C-alpha cells in the first residue's frame, strides 16, 4: 500500500496533529524555511486548546493558561505579537473540616485561601499561619520535621517516584491530603499517587536531596519564580494570552499559512512508512517517508477519534512530526520496520471523565467576587483525618518511606466521622473575574452584573458525571453562597473532555522515555505532544520546539 503513488504529493515536511504541539512544530519549521503540510483529524485546529461562544462571548473551552517555565512559550508569544496576561484574583480551596482538636473552628466544609508561599500546595514554611489554618497544628508540626530529615529521605532511586509518596515521606499526610491532593487533583485532573513527581515538578526531588529538605527546595523554586516574575516586569508566572489562549493557536495557524505552510482539517494520517528508495511522482528524488492520509468524519461521539471517510492520498516527505494523540501516534509508529515492539508496547493510563459546565447569568451578588478567581474542591475521601487513620494512611506512606518520623496528623484512637462533601463539582472558576476580557465582553453584550462561571466535574476512576443546569446551580449556591435562578441564566454549555488528561505515572514515564530513546536514531522523524512531553502547554511547547529544531537542523544535510 505504501508504495502506491495514489495522488502522491511531495511536501517539505508533514506534521500530523493540529493541537498546540503540532502547530508549534509547524510554526518553527516554517521559520526554518520549510513549507510543511499540517493535517488535523478534527474539524478545527488547537486540539485541547479550543474555543466556543457562550452568551455570545468567545471563551476557552479547554486549556486556558500555562505556567511560565523557560523561554519556549513566552518567546513564541512575543514573536507572534501576543500579550501575556495574569489571572485576576486568587483561587481558594474548599475543604472538609479538620478533626476536633486539630485546630479547626467549624464542623462544615469551608473556603480557605491558597497559602502564600507554596508550590502546588507544598509549603515553603509548614508553620506559616496560613498553612496551619488549613492543615492544623499537629500536621504542621509533622510537616516541619521535613527540615530535620536527611536530604536522602524520599529522594533515592529506590523510593517510589510518585508525588503522593514523595510529599508524604517528607511532610506527612496533612500536607498531602489538605493541600497537595486538592490542588493537584484540580490542576492535573489526577491523583498525586498516579503522577510522577519528576514530571509534575521537574527537579524538585533532586533539589530536595541537594538542599536537604523539601521546604528549602520549594523556597528555592519560589525564589526563582519571583526572580523570573521581576524579570518579566512583575507579571505573574501563571500566564494566559490576553483575550484567550485560543488566540495563540489561531495565530500559529495564520502564521504557518502566511509563511507558505498548509493546514488541512478533517484529514487524518492512516499509516507511516519509510520511503522505499523509489523516485517520487514527477521524477523527484526518493523521499525518506511516505504517509497515507485520508479525509475524516466525526467518530460516534465528540470524544471519540474521528474515522477515515474518503479516498486516501500519499504524502512523500523527508521530515515527519508525529504530534497527534497517543493512540493514533502509537498506531503510526508501529508501522516502522526495525523498531522493537517493546518501544511502542505501552498503555496510556486512563484519564478522568472530565465535564465542564459553563453558564452565563445575571447575578449582581457575584460582582463582589465571593470566591476570588475560583476554587478547588478537595476530593471526596479526603474529608477528614478520621479517614487517614485507617489503611489509606499506611498505604499512602509508601514503601520507601520506612524509617521516617510518624505522621502527626492522626493521633492514635481519635475517630471523627468524615463530613460528606456538599457539592458534586471538583472546581469552580469565576471566569468573568479571572479573565477580565471575558467580563468586559459579556458586559458589552448584556449590560452590568452578567457573569460567567464554570464548574468542573469528573474525578479519576469515577463514572462519567451527569450534569445539568439544576446540578450546576445547586453547586454554585453551595460554593459561593449566591443563589442563581434558572430564569436569570442567559446561556450555558456542557463540554466533555473524557480521558484527555491521562496521568503521567512513573511507570508510563519510563515507557515513553524508552520509546524516545528508540526513536532518537531514526532520521527525519520526531514524535511530540503531551503524551510524551508531559501535560501542560509549557511542557508541550518546549518539547515541540526542540523536536522541530532537530528536524530543521537535519534539513539539507
Ligand atoms: C479540560 C482541559 C483543561 C486544560 N487546561 C490546561 C491549562 O489551563 N494549562 C495547561 O498548561 N494545560 C492544560 N491542559 C492540558 C493541555 O491542554 C494539553 O497538555 C495540551 O493542549 C496538549 O496538546 P497536544 O498538541 O499534545 O495534544 P492535543 O491538543 O490532543 O492535539 C492532538 C491532535 O491530534 C489530532 N489527531 C489525532 N489523531 C490524528 C491523526 N491520525 N491524524 C491527524 N491528527 C490527529 C487530534 O484530533 C488532536 O487535535 C488542559 C487539558 C484539558 C483537557
Most ligand 1 atoms within 8 A of CB, residue of 63, 120, 495 to mutate: 63
Half-sphere exposure of 451 (CA within 13 A, CB side): 22
- What does the alpha-carbon distance between residue 123 and residue 128 come to, in Å, rounded to a whole number? 8
How far does residue 20's CA lie from ligand 1's centre (Å)? 7
**40 within 8 A of 22, measured Cβ to Cβ:** yes
pLDDT at 555 over 70: no
Separation of alpha carbons 130 and 90, rounded Å: 14
**Beta sheet of 84-85, edge-to-edge order:** 66-67, 238-241, 84-85
Sorting pLDDT into bands at 50, 70 and 90, what band is 104? low
Among 43-52, 74-83, 387-396, the range scoring the smallest mean pLDDT is: 387-396
User: Alpha helix (H) ranges present in 43-156?
Assistant: 72-79, 129-135, 137-144
Cell reading at 184:
493537584
Is there a contact between 376 and 426 (Cβ–Cβ < 8 Å)? yes
Q: Looking at residue 27, what is its pLDDT? A: 98
Report, as an integer, the average pLDDT of 373-387: 68
From the CA of 537, give the closest atom in ligand 1.
11
Q: Dihedral, CA atoms, 533, 547, 268, 464, nearest 10 degrees?
A: 10
pLDDT of residue 231: 56
CB atoms within 10 A of CB 231: 9
- Among residues 186, 248, 304, 255, the alpha carbon closest in space to that of 540 is found at 248
- Between 175 and 283, the higher pLDDT residue: 175
65 CB under 6 A from ligand 1? yes
Residue 269: CB within 6 Å of ligand 1? yes
314/37 Cα distance (integer angstroms): 12
Residue 234 in this model has a pLDDT that exceeds 60 = no
64 touches 247 (CB < 8 A) = no
Using 50, 70 and 90 to split pLDDT, how confident is the model at 71?
confident
Question: Mean pLDDT throughout 95-123?
Answer: 83
- Amino acid 186: pLDDT: 84
pLDDT in tens, 129-163: 999 999 999 999 999 999 999 999 999 999 999 99
State residue 59's pLDDT score: 96
Give yes or no for residue 407 having a pLDDT over 50. Answer: no
Task: State residue 299's pLDDT score.
Answer: 87
Q: DSSP character for 192?
A: G
The mean-pLDDT minimum among 55-64, 232-241, 428-437, 439-448 falls in 232-241
DSSP secondary structure code for residue 504 in this structure: -
Residue percentage of the chain with pLDDT more than 70: 88
| pLDDT, tens only, 247-288 | 999 999 999 999 999 999 999 999 999 987 766 666 677 899
Q: Is 470 exposed, middle or buried, given 0-12, 13-18 or 19+ CB atoms closer than 10 A? A: exposed
Ligand 1 touching residue 240 (CB < 6 A): no
Span of 176-190, 229-243, 252-266, 343-357 with lowest mean pLDDT: 229-243
pLDDT of residue 397: 32
Buried b (16+ CB within 10 A) or exposed e, 269-292: bbbbbbbeeeebeeeeeebbbbbb
Distance between CA atoms of 74 and 76, rounded to whole angstroms?
Answer: 5
Q: How confident is the prediction for the chain on average, in pLDDT?
A: 88
Q: Collect all residues with Cβ–Cβ distance below 8 Å to 318 and sequence separation of at least 6.
A: 12, 13, 287, 288, 289, 524, 555
Flag whether pLDDT at 493 surpasses 90: yes
With 80 as the cut, is the pLDDT of residue 197 above it?
Answer: yes
**Cβ of 41 less than 6 Å from ligand 1:** yes
**Percent of the chain topping pLDDT 90:** 69
60 lines ligand 1 (CB under 6 A): no
CA distances from 131 to 118, 178, 207 (A): 9, 10, 22
Beta bridge partners of 316: 10, 290
Picking from 551, 44, 523, 526, the residue whose alpha carbon sits closest to that of residue 332 is 526
pLDDT tens, 441-486? 999 999 999 999 999 999 988 899 999 999 999 999 999 999 999 9
How far, in Å, is the centroid of ligand 1 from the Cα of 537? 9
- What is the dotted CATH code of the domain comprising 354-380+420-497? 3.90.660.20
Pocket of ligand 1 contains residue 540 by CB under 6 Å: yes
Q: What is the CATH number of domain 114-230?
A: 1.10.3110.10
Cβ neighbors of 168 (< 8 A, separation 6 or more) are 176, 396, 397, 398, 401, 407
Q: Look at residue 385 in the predicted model and tell me its pLDDT.
A: 40
Q: How far is the CA of 5 from the centre of ligand 1 (A)?
A: 32
Using 50, 70 and 90 to split pLDDT, how confident is the model at 229? low
Tell me, using a 6 A CB cutoff, whether residue 529 lines ligand 1.
Answer: yes
27-49 tens-digit pLDDT: 999 999 999 999 999 999 999 99
227 alpha carbon – ligand 1 mean position (Å): 30
Q: What is the mean pLDDT of residues 396-401?
A: 31
C-beta separation of 380 from 421 below 8 A: yes
Q: What is the pLDDT of residue 8?
A: 87
Closest CA to 342 of 485, 517, 155: 517
Answer whether 427 contacts ligand 1 (Cβ < 6 A).
no
- Residue 327's Cβ-count burial label (10 Å; 0-12, 13-18, 19+) is exposed
Q: Any idea where the domains of the chain sit in the sequence?
A: 8-55+70-75+245-349+503-555, 114-230, 354-380+420-497
Q: Which residue has the higher pLDDT, 226 or 365?
A: 365
Helix (H) or strand (E) holding 169: helix 163-171
> Closest by alpha carbon to 377, among 416, 435, 422?
422
Our CA angle for 271, 274, 277, nearest 5°, is: 135
Instruction: Provide the sign of the torsion angle of the four alpha carbons 366, 371, 374, 375, taken in this order.
Output: negative
Q: Tens digits of per-residue pLDDT, 518-543?
A: 999 999 999 999 999 988 899 999 99
Distance between CA 512 and CA 525 in Å, rounded?
A: 16
Q: Strand ranges (DSSP E) for 50-160?
A: 51-54, 57-60, 66-67, 84-85, 91-95, 110-113, 118-119, 122-123
Per-residue pLDDT tens digits for 304-331: 889 999 899 999 999 999 999 999 999 9
Residue 392 scores a pLDDT above 70: no
pLDDT over 80 (residue 61): yes
Give the residue from 477, 470, 296 showing the smallest Cα distance to 371. 477
Name residue, grid cell 458534586. 424
Decide which of 3.30.1300.10, 3.30.950.10, 3.50.50.60, 1.10.150.530 is the CATH code for 8-55+70-75+245-349+503-555. 3.50.50.60
Amino acid at each position: 500500500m505504501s508504495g502506491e503513488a495514489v495522488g502522491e504529493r511531495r511536501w517539505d515536511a508533514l506534521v500530523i496533529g493540529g493541537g498546540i504541539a503540532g502547530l508549534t512544530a509547524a510554526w518553527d519549521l516554517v521559520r526554518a524555511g520549510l513549507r510543511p503540510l499540517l493535517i488535523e483529524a478534527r474539524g478545527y485546529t488547537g486540539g485541547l486548546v479550543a474555543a466556543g461562544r457562550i452568551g455570545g462571548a468567545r471563551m476557552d473551552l479547554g486549556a486556558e493558561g500555562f505556567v511560565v517555565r523557560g523561554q519556549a512559550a513566552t518567546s513564541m508569544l512575543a514573536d507572534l505579537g501576543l500579550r501575556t496576561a495574569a489571572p485576576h484574583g486568587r483561587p481558594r480551596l474548599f475543604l472538609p473540616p479538620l478533626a476536633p482538636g486539630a485546630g479547626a473552628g467549624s464542623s462544615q466544609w469551608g473556603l480557605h485561601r491558597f497559602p502564600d508561599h507554596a508550590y502546588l500546595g507544598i509549603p515553603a514554611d509548614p508553620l506559616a499561619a496560613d498553612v496551619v489554618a488549613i492543615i492544623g497544628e499537629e500536621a504542621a508540626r509533622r510537616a516541619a520535621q521535613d527540615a530535620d530529615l536527611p536530604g536522602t529521605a524520599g529522594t533515592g532511586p529506590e523510593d517510589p517516584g510518585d508525588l503522593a509518596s514523595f510529599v508524604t515521606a517528607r511532610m506527612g499526610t496533612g500536607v498531602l491530603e489538605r493541600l497537595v491532593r486538592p490542588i493537584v487533583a484540580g490542576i492535573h485532573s489526577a491523583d498525586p499517587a498516579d503522577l510522577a513527581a519528576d514530571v509534575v515538578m521537574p527537579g524538585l526531588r533532586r533539589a530536595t536531596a541537594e538542599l536537604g529538605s523539601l521546604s528549602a527546595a520549594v523556597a528555592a523554586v519560589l525564589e526563582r519564580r519571583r526572580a523570573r516574575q521581576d524579570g518579566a516586569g512583575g507579571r505573574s508566572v501563571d500566564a494566559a494570552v490576553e483575550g484567550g489562549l485560543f488566540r495563540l493557536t489561531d495565530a500559529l495557524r495564520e502564521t504557518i499559512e502566511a509563511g507558505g505552510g498548509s493546514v488541512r482539517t478533517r484529514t487524518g494520517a492512516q499509516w507511516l512508512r519509510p520511503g522505499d528508495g523509489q523516485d517520487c511522482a514527477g521524477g523527484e528524488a526518493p523521499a525518506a517517508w511516505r504517509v497515507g492520509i485520508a479525509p475524516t468524519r466525526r467518530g460516534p461521539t465528540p470524544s471519540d477519534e474521528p474515522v477515515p471517510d474518503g479516498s486516501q492520498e500519499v504524502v512523500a516527505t523527508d521530515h515527519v512530526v508525529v504530534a497527534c494523540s497517543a493512540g493514533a501516534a502509537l498506531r503510526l509508529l508501529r508501522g516502522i520496520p526495525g523498531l522493537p515492539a517493546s518501544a511502542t508496547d505501552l498503555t496510556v493510563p486512563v484519564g478522568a471523565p472530565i465535564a465542564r459546565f459553563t453558564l452565563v447569568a445575571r447575578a449582581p451578588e457575584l460582582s463582589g467576587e465571593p470566591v476570588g478567581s475560583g476554587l478547588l474542591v478537595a476530593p471526596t475521601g479526603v474529608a477528614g483525618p478520621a479517614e487517614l487513620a485507617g489503611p489509606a494512611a499506611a498505604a499512602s506512606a509508601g514503601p520507601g518511606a520506612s524509617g521516617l518520623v510518624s505522621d502527626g496528623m492522626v493521633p492514635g484512637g481519635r475517630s471523627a466521622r468524615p463530613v460528606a462533601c456538599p457539592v458534586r463539582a471538583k472546581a469552580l472558576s469565576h471566569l468573568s473575574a479571572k479573565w477580565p476580557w471575558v467580563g468586559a465582553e459579556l458586559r458589552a453584550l448584556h449590560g452590568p452584573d452578567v457573569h460567567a462561571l464554570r464548574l468542573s466535574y469528573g474525578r479519576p476512576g469515577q463514572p462519567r458525571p451527569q450534569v445539568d443546569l439544576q446540578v450546576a446551580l445547586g453547586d454554585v449556591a453551595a460554593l459561593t453562597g449566591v443563589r442563581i435562578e434558572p430564569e436569570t441564566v442567559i446561556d450555558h454549555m456542557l463540554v466533555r473532555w473524557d480521558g484527555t488528561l491521562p496521568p503521567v505515572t512513573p511507570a508510563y514515564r519510563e515507557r515513553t522515555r524508552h520509546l524516545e530513546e528508540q526513536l532518537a536514531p531514526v532520521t527525519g522523524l520526531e514524535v511530540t505532544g503531551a503524551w510524551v512531553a508531559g501535560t501542560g502547554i509549557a511542557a508541550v511547547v518546549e518539547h515541540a520546539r526542540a523536536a522541530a529544531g532537530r528536524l530543521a537542523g537535519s534539513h539539507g544535510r
